[in-house]
Structure 1
Amino acid sequence: MKKNLAVVFDSAGTLLRMYRVAKETATGNFLEDIESTMLVAEKAGRALVVMHAEPHMLKNADPGTEIGKFIADNDLKIDISCSSGPVSPLEAMKIINKEKVAVKDVTDVLSVAYQHCPERYYMAAALIVDKETQLIPYVLSTAGKLYSNTSKTFELLQCRGIDTYIASGDTMRSLKGIAEKLRIPIKNVFDIATTEDKAKIVLDLKRKYNRVLMVGDGMNDIRALQVADIGIVTVQQGDKRPQKLLETADLVINDIIEVIDIVDSLNTADHMKEHGTAFYC
């Protein structure tokens, strides 16, 4: 027998208010409050490469070390978080090894992110590779902290017996602490989830639940929003969201706590239909 309802959340921008900064490697210019997925989408053959490295590892490394050597010396794993076309980790690594981007380029963006988000919940570094030009056009850093109503939202969902999940392009290193804080079972957390991965996660859950809601804020959530029973876009981050994303959503919310009203309206209708009454804590 299927369970009644599950809610799947993206992480960055959905559960967390994000600060993102990129450094343009060709000019050294910094771009603040950027959308990393939009930088990827600018050109075909670009990919966002996440490094499974703690920020302190980068800060303690020789700043002149080329990033490819740093990855090799520390036996680090890389993953493709999103791409505008097929790019494998092996292809990305070949570009990284060829390029002269140094550890200092990455620590530069980490430092800017730290300054702008001192109360961060997590911090991460990434690269954008371009398969066509065989270059690394940008290095990036993101820092995020939970929205003020994120914890309350999850407390209320759990009080109602609603199963919650995270499907995010972030690494498990970043997501584990968030899951623990929000009391989400680690088996319900899906890391390094691409656009298609998120859609598949939602479709798989629809086999277990009568309804699956997807809550996201970016273009990499769009397929999951489409296949969910109800697709919810949050604009709490405050920056302008692409019109295509807003048009895909069934509902647009300004604060994550509004998910509770949506869930209650669904459950009230279901309970009234079955029992003639409904009760929530």
Structure 2
Amino acid sequence: MSIAVVFDSAGTLLRSYRTARDVGTGEILPDVETTLLTCRDPARVLIALNAHSRDVMGAPDDQFLSEYLCERKVGFGVSCLRQVTPHEELANLLYGDREALVGDLQACIKDVWGILKEEELVVMDSGAILNLSKRGIEFTVTAGGRPFKGAKETIESLHAMGVATYIASGDRAAKLEQIADHLGIPRDQVHGIATPSIKAQIVEDLQDYYETVVMVGDGINDLKAFRRADISILSEQQSREKPEQLTRAAGYIIKNVREVVPIVRELSDDGIVSI
């Protein structure tokens, strides 16, 4: 039997720490679930910025974030949204915003770095939550993560069984490739800036080549992929607070990424699969 396992990154392969800042109030929201924060309002759209943290930290804190993004020609990708919106409209909101400052994003970066700076491998990503109703940036966000203990061994075990591994995540491709290199997942099997619909499409496309496609995720943005996959695995390694509809869609619920291996092994009568 040919099998492919698709992993989300944060919460499944990575222990992620996320910080958001409310642009209107200046309130810092530490260790927040950004996808849940986004989904609480159908007008919100979570985007990932193709910006490097060091460059952002070197910019004037009182500069409009939109001006900084335009000056540096920083692009973006959509990570999570509830209503389909043209990319051009999102670009107009992002680059035309006159509320969020560079300092709002710097505050998120500082908080995340303060938590994770002692880790051996740290990957960071920054973005924003746009609000279609408010017509601008409602939150700035930064996420940082380190691989869960056992993540690398899990990938090695799957590869030893002949199982193909993929990453499909809303994070930037550059960040995901760094993770993939560490874990041993081929870069051409890494899909960044994947919205919920794109994740589901990736699963569907892989079903043309593999007899069984397994989706491993941890958040509401994995729901569509769960419903499309042959086998869905919900990870509670980082948090047990999951929406009911997500837990209902999961075929398995795990507490540790290592548990993926025996689940996949059971899919084959003799424990040996072929690509």
TM-score normalised over the length of structure 2 = 0.94
Query: Once superposed, which parts of structure 1, at least 4 consecutive aligned residues long, lie more than 6 Å away?
Result: none
Q: Secondary structure at the match of 2:2?
A: strand
Q: Does 2:252 match 1:254?
A: no
Residue aligned with 1:170, SS: coil
Bigger mean CA deviation after superposition, 90-99 or 208-217: 90-99
Whether the 8 Å contact between 2:108 and 2:140 is mirrored in structure 1 is: yes
Partner of 1:234: 235
Do structure 1's residue 107 and structure 2's residue 106 form an aligned pair? yes
Cα distance in 1 for residues equivalent to 2:67 and 2:138: 18
Distance of 1:148 and 1:108 partners within structure 2: 29
Partner of 2:89: 91
CA RMSD of aligned residues (A): 1.5
Distance 1:222 1:43 in 2: 17
Amino acid at match of 1:82: C
Query: Whose Rg is larger?
Result: 1
2:30 match: 32
Cα distance in structure 1, aligned partners of 2:235 and 2:229:
15
Is contact 1:45–1:87 with CA below 8 Å preserved after alignment?
no
Q: Is the 8 A contact 1:46 1:128 kept in 2?
A: yes
Q: Kindly indicate whether structure 1 or structure 2 has the higher relative contact order, using CA contacts under 8 Å at least 6 residues apart.
A: 2
Query: Which residue pairs with 1:11 in the alignment?
Result: 9
State the Cα deviation string for residues 130-168 of structure 1 (Å, max 9, x = none). 111213221111110000010010111111111100010
- How far off its partner does 1:244 sit? 1.1
> How far off its partner does 1:129 sit?
0.7
Letter in 2 for 1:73: E
CA distance in 2, matches of 1:241, 1:255: 16
Alignment partner, residue 122 of structure 2: 121
Query: What's 2:226 paired with?
Result: 225
Provide TM-score, normalisation by structure 1.
0.92
Matched residues, number: 270
SS of 1:22's equivalent?
strand
Which position in structure 2 is the counterpart of 1:57?
Answer: 55
% identical equivalent positions: 33
Cα deviations across residues 86-125 of structure 1 (Å, max 9, x unaligned)? Answer: 2333222322323221111100010001111222521111
Q: Is the 8 A contact 1:37 1:220 kept in 2?
A: yes
1:192 aligned partner, one-letter code: I
Distance 2:4 2:136 in 1: 41
Superposed displacement of residue 26, structure 1: 1.2
